[in-house]
Structure 1
Amino acid sequence: MLHLGHTLVIANPASQSGAGAEGAEFVRRTLAAYGSATDGFDVRLTTGPGVATQMARAATGFDTVLALGGDGVIHEVVNGLMKIGEARRPRLGIIPLGSGNDFARTLGMAANSPERSLGQLLQGVAHRLDLGIVNGTYFDQTLSFGVDAAIALDTMERRQRTGAHGTRLFMASGVDVVRHQLRSWSHRVRFDGGAEQDGDSLIFAVQVGPTYGGGFRICPEADPEDGLLDVCFSHGSPSAAAALAILARARVGRHTGSRYLGFRQASSIVIDFAGEPPCQADGERVRGSHFEIGVAHRALEVIRPTWQF
């Protein structure tokens, strides 16, 4: 059994339509029952946006921080932990309880089952993983601009409005955005300090891990331990039908041969857009038109499972 040491649980009670509160109570009972798993623990519930970041930032003195909730809470906790100096920074474990769960998918964690994911954590192994960083904000999984970002943001709004979740939700948003908001975004980009390149893209995705949107394998070869960001970008002028076909194939990573897509890796990217594009990092909206993007190699110690369901 992995010893978690002094442990802080940061839980979003509202995740999964209130299932987060029940999940937090399950974790509390389980850690209390298995006293040898920790050197004491504290469970704290978030009350709104940004609170998880504040809690994680103040987590000096803890050995492990467990984030319970969806991708948004995990994103907040990651950014809070990265405010702590490396020597004092707790390691991260996640108990994924959300609709996207893309970081959990990269790690191999069981989603929407606190019993299973906590079991994986207690028998897991800590690895140092890469993070992306954009204009000073860290992202653990995905950063995207353009149509795919518009879909991700629309998905989040639909989820809050309807309670729907999963792949069907992402596809419903995708169809609506492609039909009514299909446009490309002019940009000038520099990879790894090289020559500036002008482009015009519907899609520009920067990945630490392979998936976004609840399992769409946009960059199938992305590896969170290789020190590189994987980039998928579109070129040319695909029709709405072609864009929808690309989206559908991306669900299983079969879009990579499309003549409308390019792929590359980089450790630093500077991109300027002619206007402000839709932009999201781990599902959270990012504003601006100038973006400086990098990778923080092996920046955060994260518990990964040794077995999967």
Structure 2
Amino acid sequence: MAFKFYFLINPVSGGGKGKLIREFLPEIMESMDFAADEWKVEFTRYEDMKGQILEALSCTETLIAVGGDGTVSSVLSTMLSSDFSNKVKIGLIPLGTGNDLARVLNLYKAFADQGLLFLVRRLLRADAVPFDIWKVNGKYALANYFSGGIDARIAHDFNHDRATGMISSNSVIMNKLHYVRRFFADRNYCLKGGTLRYVDKDGEKKTVDLKGHRTVIVGNIPSFASGANPFFKSDMADGLLEVVDVPNMLAFLLAIAIGNIPVVGHLYKKYLRKSTKVRSLEFKFVPEEFLQLDGEDVSGKLGDTVSIEFASQVQMLRLGD
């Protein structure tokens, strides 16, 4: 392979911070004694992103995705249809709004507290850890989480507001404030109907009626919607997903608000709002249900049946605790 490191930067993530990172990278890489022919950097091209990612994977030992969760999800989705999952390590420099994957890899706090130079210096020397990737309808990669219901409705309306110019700022803080406003506007939303069928960790098949429930959340990592953790003892490399069925608004608010609180959150998730470990699952939704995948709105893109099954493991760069 030609390069030790290949940076793919989403130029619009983080309000355009990706462009600034590209300007600083040469100085940072030189300070780490990497020669110019040992690394490469490119902006992502929306019109041919899959081909661009495949080209990058074919000529590097480590691919660094610079952007939000959606950027790294595009990389992982491309890896599903290639043979690079066991050959190329994946890193992330977080520029998104939620940054859930970066949080569990200990990258987000390092970047927010110490800045770009600190993160890059540590990231390029970080150890790689195994990380589960799941297939959604045999096509899309699930790295973080999937959900349908009120949270997916909020994500859908947020993306619509951004696309139509109702959100004028690219600030992460302003984006989060707009999410709060969307929550109050969409607070009465429930799943219109549907069923969940899954195979649990012991191989037993079960069915859940979802009609009237607020949301159902499927997690691969212990972080959801900008750092909440409604999952009990989630492990991102155990070949299992966590499913949290949320029947009412109180359960939804508690799952989001107290999941990370020591002792209290642990007891709540263990005894009250329990998550279920599953090996595979299938949803049957009513037409036009609101859905999200790794924080991205996928309403209307997956059809009425959504199946999720294990795909492979990749090697992700992770900073130590």
**TM-score category (smaller protein):** 0.7 to 0.9
What is the match of residue 69 of structure 1? 67
Mapped partners of 1:231, 1:139: distance in 2 = 14
What is the match of residue 122 of structure 2? 120
| Offset, 1:196 | 3.6
| Offset, 1:169 | 4.0
Gap runs ≥5 in structure 2: none
Mapped partners of 2:36, 2:216: distance in 1 = 42
SS at the partner of 1:291?
strand
Deviating more after overlay: 82-91 vs 184-193: 82-91
Normalised TM-score (structure 2):
0.81
Aligned-residue Cα RMSD (Å) equals: 2.7
**How does 1:225-264 map onto structure 2 within 5 Å?**
225-235=237-247, 238=248, 242=250, 245-246=253-254, 249-250=257-258, 252=260, 254=265, 256=269, 261-264=273-276
Deviations 1:128-149 (A, max 9, x none): 2111221121021111111111
User: For the structure 1 residues 219 and 295, does the alpha-carbon distance in structure 2 shift closer, same or farther, using more than 3 Å as the test?
Assistant: same
What is the match of residue 191 of structure 1? 198
Mapped partners of 2:195, 2:143: distance in 1 = 25
What is the match of residue 207 of structure 1? 219
User: For the structure 1 residues 5 and 57, does the alpha-carbon distance in structure 2 shift closer, same or farther, using more than 3 Å as the test?
Assistant: closer
Mapped partners of 1:281, 1:149: distance in 2 = 9
Deviations 1:152-204 (A, max 9, x none): 3334445562334355443332222114xx12232222211714443322211
Normalised TM-score (structure 1):
0.84
Mapped partners of 1:90, 1:225: distance in 2 = 17
User: For the structure 1 residues 251 and 119, does the alpha-carbon distance in structure 2 shift closer, same or farther, using more than 3 Å as the test?
Assistant: farther
| Offset, 1:268 | 0.2
Mapped partners of 1:162, 1:256: distance in 2 = 38
User: For the structure 1 residues 90 and 230, does the alpha-carbon distance in structure 2 shift closer, same or farther, using more than 3 Å as the test?
Assistant: same
What is the match of residue 42 of structure 1? 40
User: For the structure 1 residues 107 and 249, does the alpha-carbon distance in structure 2 shift closer, same or farther, using more than 3 Å as the test?
Assistant: same
SS at the partner of 1:57?
helix
Gap runs ≥5 in structure 1: none
Number of aligned residue pairs: 295
| Offset, 1:82 | 2.9
Deviating more after overlay: 167-176 vs 288-297: 167-176
Mapped partners of 1:13, 1:140: distance in 2 = 22
Mapped partners of 2:35, 2:260: distance in 1 = 38
**How does 1:39-118 map onto structure 2 within 5 Å?**
40-48=38-46, 51-58=48-55, 59-86=57-84, 89-109=87-107, 110-112=110-112, 113-118=115-120
What is the match of residue 184 of structure 2? 175
Mapped partners of 2:63, 2:320: distance in 1 = 19
Mapped partners of 1:89, 1:169: distance in 2 = 40
The answer to whether 1:303 aligns with 2:301 is no
SS at the partner of 2:216?
strand
User: For the structure 1 residues 153 and 27, does the alpha-carbon distance in structure 2 shift closer, same or farther, using more than 3 Å as the test?
Assistant: farther
The answer to whether 1:134 aligns with 2:148 is no
| Offset, 1:80 | 2.0
Aligned residues: percent identity?
A: 23
Deviations 1:219-251 (A, max 9, x none): 25221111110111123xx3x5x3674365256
Mapped partners of 2:145, 2:239: distance in 1 = 15
Deviating more after overlay: 285-294 vs 147-156: 147-156
| 8 Å contact kept, 1:28–1:43 | no
| 8 Å contact kept, 2:135–2:141 | yes
Mapped partners of 1:118, 1:82: distance in 2 = 26
